Amino acid sequence: MPLLLISYLLLVLLPAQVDNVFHPTAGSSQYIQLLLRWLHFLAGFVWIGHLYFFNLVNVNLMKSLDGPTKGKVIPQLMPRALWWFRWGAVVTVLVGLTYFAMYMVAPDAHNAEKSVWVVLLVWLLVPLVTFAIELFSIKKIGNGWSLAVVVTLLIILMAIAIICWIRTSLGQHGGTKTYSIGIGGAMGLVMLFNVWGIIWPNQKRIIAWTADNAERGTAIPPESARLARIAFLASRTNTWLSIPMLFFMAVSSHWEGLFGISGH
């Protein structure tokens, strides 16, 4: 993962490359696109792979372990797995956001004579507000099915807001890729906020408690149990969100008529 971060910094943030973020030259465009997409895919495999491991394998495994065993396994397994998990999320989103800005939003915004920064900032605001409402809901709703209904409605409203914003700001210049990645990327941002705003802070406290108490057979206190439940709900939310998120990422290049417009 440090190699991915270094590669990203060298690629995007060096002074010689800063202007290429929104004005890639003909000679550099394919090179930058290739590296950005490669880094995005690689980091995404790390992130979503760990997400599926936690939800499809680790949850049931931990239920089968007794207290002393958890006290040995969790402090060794979870910090390492969560390190790759959370930094994989960061690299995936940063690189994906750069690609989205360079090759989708920027050309559409320039054609529509709109500010790229305004289009991006309003777009970023939509998933941020969505996450804030979701965070409140996760803390207040303990039932997974009820939360699923709330999150589903939130994501639908978020997608509608993004479509309306792209149509308002870019008009006929907004392409299928901009709509698809705009919606899928917004889901990815909500998932990133879940990782850093809910899952990691709660898991960090749970790991610390487990390391100090589980081997002695101490029953988990109510507060730690509540944190574990919230982290679980956020992680399960991310698992379900990854399905439509990956769908929109895939159709951006393979379904030009999805939004009733032609792709670029």
Residue 264 within a domain: no
Domain that holds residue 157: 2-251
Q: How confident is the model at residue 219 (pLDDT cuts 50, 70, 90)?
A: low
Q: How confident is the model at residue 16 (pLDDT cuts 50, 70, 90)?
A: very low
Identify the pLDDT of residue 257.
57
pLDDT tens per residue across span 107-120: 999 999 999 999 99
Q: HEC states along 103-159?
A: HHHHHHHHHCCCCHHHHHHHHHHHHHHHHHHHHHHHHHCCCHHHHHHHHHHHHHHHH
Give how far Cα 44 sits from Cα of 6, 47, 96, 192, Å: 16, 5, 10, 11
pLDDT tens per residue across span 51-97: 999 999 999 998 888 878 888 888 899 999 999 999 999 999 999 99
Q: Which residues of 71-80 are buried (b: 16+ CB within 10 A; e: fewer)?
A: bebbbeebee
What is the count of structural domains for the chain? 1
Q: Of all residues in the chain, what percent are helix, strand and coil, respectively (each to 5)?
A: 85, 0, 15
Residue 258 within a domain: no
Residue 153 within a domain: yes
Residue 94 within a domain: yes
Q: How confident is the model at residue 224 (pLDDT cuts 50, 70, 90)?
A: confident
The number of C-alpha atoms within 13 Å of 14 and in the hemisphere containing its C-beta is 9
Query: In whole angstroms, what is the distance from residue 100 CA to residue 107 CA?
Result: 10
Residue 256 within a domain: no
Residue 257 within a domain: no
Residue 204 within a domain: yes
21-25, 38-42, 211-215, range with greatest mean pLDDT: 38-42
Identify the pLDDT of residue 263.
45
Residue 55 within a domain: yes
- 254 pLDDT higher than 90: no
